[in-house]
């Protein structure tokens, strides 16, 4: 296995941060005929950008994973086809992030109450906001799970006497449960078909219906689904002993994670943030 991190433009940060970035990006994994590959680059602010393809020369292979197709693989564990060592390295990256460690209790409670897999919530948040609770999209989606205010209201979030709806959505204790309830709704709506639920989270329920209950033909949505699924496979729980170690404290790092999608035209770029 060869390290691919040498091709990434790493930010000028502490030696510990540079070692973390180099270590996590040495993850070119198992080869095969069809893969859910994930590419990444670290920008000057220390933010790791993910994409399911090499969008430009800045991107290097973060990991190579098996293809997941909900129509054929629905009965298989989401972590099938990945090695424990590879998954441990990917998971250790998240454990180094203070923002993830801060959000972890909210993810656990939301997973228990909604029935949505913890690892799936983790993959969605990493893709949506990079665990930045103050994230605001150009379309007005807010917080860790990038909820539009109208969607949040559908799933139980409201302004209080002390806080506006926007302030509520920047609170992980409010945002994560609401996002989990929305994702649970989508999973039930599309009969547990994970790819369709994720497509609807990005493009809207109506877009998936109009596409004949298939992933809509929007490059942004297709890339979004690929990225969440690729992370989800790698974030599946390890053996009990390894899982117990992975949730312990770890040295702090200042990097965040953010998903980057190719720019699309107005005709082929549609998401739930604009459907409201």
List of domains in the chain: 5-263 (1.10.530.10)
List alpha helices for 129-171, DSSP H: 149-154, 165-169
Instruction: Give 195: exposed, middle or buried? Use CB within 10 Å, 0-12, 13-18, 19+.
Output: buried
Instruction: Give 239: exposed, middle or buried? Use CB within 10 Å, 0-12, 13-18, 19+.
Output: exposed
Quote the pLDDT of residue 67.
Answer: 54
The more confidently predicted of residues 59 and 261 is: 59
Quote the pLDDT of residue 64.
Answer: 72
Residue numbers annotated as active site: 128
Q: Backbone dihedral region of 274: left (phi > 0), alpha (psi from -120 to 50 degrees) or beta?
A: alpha
Q: Are 60 and 5 spatial neighbours (Cβ–Cβ below 8 Å)?
A: yes
Helix (H) or strand (E) holding 241, with range, is helix 240-246
The more confidently predicted of residues 53 and 33 is: 53
pLDDT of residue 153 exceeding 90, the answer is yes
Provide CB contacts within 8 A for 98, sequence distance 6+.
252, 253, 254
Quote the pLDDT of residue 93.
Answer: 80
pLDDT in tens, 201-246: 999 999 999 999 999 999 999 999 999 998 898 898 876 544 433 3
pLDDT of residue 80 exceeding 60, the answer is no
Lowest mean pLDDT among 10-19, 153-162, 186-195: 10-19
As a whole-number percent, the residues of the chain with pLDDT over 90 amount to 45
- pTM recorded for the entire structure: 0.74
pLDDT of residue 84 exceeding 90, the answer is no
The more confidently predicted of residues 21 and 175 is: 175
Three-class SS of residue 142? strand
pLDDT of residue 44 exceeding 60, the answer is yes
Quote the pLDDT of residue 155.
Answer: 97
């Amino acid at each position: 296995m060869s390290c691919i991190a040498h091709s990434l433009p790493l930010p000028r940060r502490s030696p510990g941060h540079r070692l973390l970035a180099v270590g996590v990006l040495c993850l070119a994994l198992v080869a095969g005929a069809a893969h859910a590959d994930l590419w990444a680059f670290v920008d000057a602010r220390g933010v790791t950008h993910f994409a399911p393809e090499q969008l430009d020369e800045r991107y290097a292979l973060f990991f190579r994973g098996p293809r997941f197709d909900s129509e054929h693989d629905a009965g298989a564990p989401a972590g099938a086809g990945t090695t424990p060592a590879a998954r441990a390295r990917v998971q250790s990256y998240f454990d180094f992030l203070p923002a993830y460690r801060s959000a972890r209790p909210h993810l656990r409670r939301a997973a228990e109450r909604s029935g949505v897999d913890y690892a799936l919530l983790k993959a969605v948040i990493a893709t949506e906001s990079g665990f930045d609770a103050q994230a605001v999209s150009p379309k007005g989606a807010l917080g860790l799970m990038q909820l539009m205010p109208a969607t949040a209201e559908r799933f139980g979030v409201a302004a209080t006497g002390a806080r506006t709806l926007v302030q509520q959505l920047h609170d992980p204790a409010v945002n994560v449960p609401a996002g989990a309830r929305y994702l649970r709704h989508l999973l039930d709506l599309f009969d547990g078909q994970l790819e369709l639920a994720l497509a609807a989270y990005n493009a809207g329920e109506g877009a998936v219906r109009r596409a004949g209950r298939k992933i809509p033909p929007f490059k942004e949505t297709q890339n979004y689904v690929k990225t969440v699924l690729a992370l989800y496979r790698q974030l599946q729980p390890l053996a009990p002993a390894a899982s117990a170690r992975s949730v312990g404290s770890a040295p702090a790092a200042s990097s965040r994670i953010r998903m980057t999608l190719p720019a699309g035209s107005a005709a082929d770029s549609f998401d739930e943030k604009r459907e409201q």
